[in-house]
Amino acid sequence: MEVVGAIDQGTQSTRFFLYDRDCRPLASAQVEFPQIYPRAGWVEQDPLAIWESVQQAVQQAMEDALEQYGALSVVAVGITNQRETTVVWDRETGRPLHNAIVWLDNRTAGICHALTEQLGSQDYFRPVTGLPISTYFSAYKLKWLLDNVPAVAQAAAEGRALFGTVDSWLIWNMTGGASGGGLHVTDASNASRTNLMDLRSLSWHEPTLRLFGVPPAMLPQIRSNAEVYGTVKGMDALEGVPIAGCLGDQQAAMVGQRCAVREAKNTYGTGCFMLLNTGRELVQSRHGLLSTLAFRLGPDAAPHYALEGSIAIAGQGISWLRDRMGFIGSAAESEEVAASVPDSGGVYFVPAFGGLLAPWWQDDARGAILGLTGYTTRAHIVRAMLEAICFQTRDVLEAMQADADCGELAALLVDGGASQNSLLMQMQADILQVPVRRPAHMETTSLGAALAAGIGVGFWSEEEAFTDLKHNTGGTLFEPQITQAAAARRHGKWKKAVERSFALADLTRDLEEDNEQRQPAAAAGGDGS
């Protein structure tokens, strides 16, 4: 049996899937890896742990498939990955020069503020890259590494440093790395998230490189989303298999959902990401969204563009309730606990743990829970967290409708881990006042990577992938069950809560400085003085 493999490298885990010609998942495996939190607002990952998780997931899934189906012929493998997460490594040794800086890390706030002041506008880069100045994007993380990590600066000066998002790190290792002539490439969707690529030419923008002090020799070659980049070397389970597709995770979900022009999908993962396919039209946002590449399915294919609203905290907020607060025992339990109360009891939860992304772009915002009374229980807070995901999505959809004049959506296509929560999906339909369609197979991110790889080797044509194999009519449809007036009233109160979360980062910094001043005093008191 001929199959296509898909590596789905996410923020908290890596998964590997095998799909048959009818896009049915035959086998899969998932491997988690740790997050590193050096200080408040900083999030890192060990690139070697990411690479190890990929190898383990592939091996486990291939062994399971062999046991269930016998020998399979993997005709291609695709990659999809957490976007913006930044890796710098040594081309000679293959070793990372620093931990990966994760997409939601906000250590670059000072760099962003300084550039905004220097350039005169947070939107200075939008005409070229489609992106505002923000801690979110890779260029600012790379600049921080060049400015603050001597090993990175030295390797860059000596021509040894390679920069990439996680896709580049994986492809380099999968094609042999330092010992086997690893390929240093990226795809146009991931490149569009660095703030270094010209969206129209799909090439690195030299004036922006100079402004950030990035040596061009560090950068990977930009390729389309569906073509053969190279073949796998050094992985027994996939040895010799063409790597033929690559997309950032949200663009992969668009392909997996087979989003047509003026259709939108929302992925509920660690964060929450809504993308609207604008076709060959590059729409410049005036309402706080991102203009980005959707996909380019072949080196000779025309690019499709998208408007995107990126929300930093979705599933991670549910994880925080579980891991930090102990309000729930598992992510799945959030649905049961939230359903135990009819509403949030007037509680509004703004999960701005490291600032707010679209459409607010407030990196000084911090998390806030408002409306607490003596009546409030953990169930109200859990429900308020789920509602926060829905309110943030409505903020983004309203901005999309203003930017693209796309009118009312027939339905919002949804996927991602948190979309399994049926209560959350019903609340989303209620707050949006738009039907929400959840497909039968919700792993659309991995499916999108598989489809791109299959198109890259001719296993499927683009027409087959987007028309003949489109299964979005399956699954579950959630219709709104509250009135438009009720939804608008609740959304208005949410916006007031969001505004009260602004500028709270100053309070966090004040507390850190107070603690630093106390520590020497405590040490002095300890020796009897």
Pairing of strands 197-198, 203-204: antiparallel
- The DSSP bridge partners found for residue 87 are 164
Alpha-carbon gap, residue 388 to 404, rounded angstroms: 24
What does the pLDDT read at residue 472?
Answer: 45
What does the pLDDT read at residue 354?
Answer: 84
Main-chain phi, psi angles of 58, to 5 degrees? -60, -50
Say whether 303 sits in a helix, a strand or coil: coil
Say whether 248 sits in a helix, a strand or coil: strand
Alpha-carbon gap, residue 82 to 74, rounded angstroms: 24
What does the pLDDT read at residue 522?
Answer: 44
- Amino acid 525 reads G
- Amino acid 456 reads G
What does the pLDDT read at residue 69?
Answer: 92
Say whether 438 sits in a helix, a strand or coil: strand
Query: N- to C-terminal Cα distance for the chain?
Result: 78
DSSP assignment string, 121-185: -TTTTHHHHS--S-TTSHHHHHHHHHHH-HHHHHHHHTT-EEEEEHHHHHHHHHTTGGGTT---E
What does the pLDDT read at residue 525?
Answer: 42
- Amino acid 96 reads P
- Amino acid 143 reads K
Alpha-carbon gap, residue 186 to 204, rounded angstroms: 12
Alpha-carbon gap, residue 4 to 15, rounded angstroms: 14
What does the pLDDT read at residue 529?
Answer: 31
What does the pLDDT read at residue 524?
Answer: 43
DSSP assignment string, 258-296: TPPTT-EEEEESSSEEEEEEEET--PPPSSS-EEEEEE-
Alpha-carbon gap, residue 161 to 211, rounded angstroms: 18
Say whether 420 sits in a helix, a strand or coil: helix
Low-confidence ranges of the chain (pLDDT < 70): 468-474, 507-529
pLDDT digits (tens, 9 = 90+) for 108-134: 999 999 999 999 999 999 999 999 999
Alpha-carbon gap, residue 382 to 388, rounded angstroms: 10
Please, is 378 exposed, middle or buried when counting C-beta atoms within 10 Å of its C-beta (0-12, 13-18, 19+)?
middle
What does the pLDDT read at residue 528?
Answer: 38
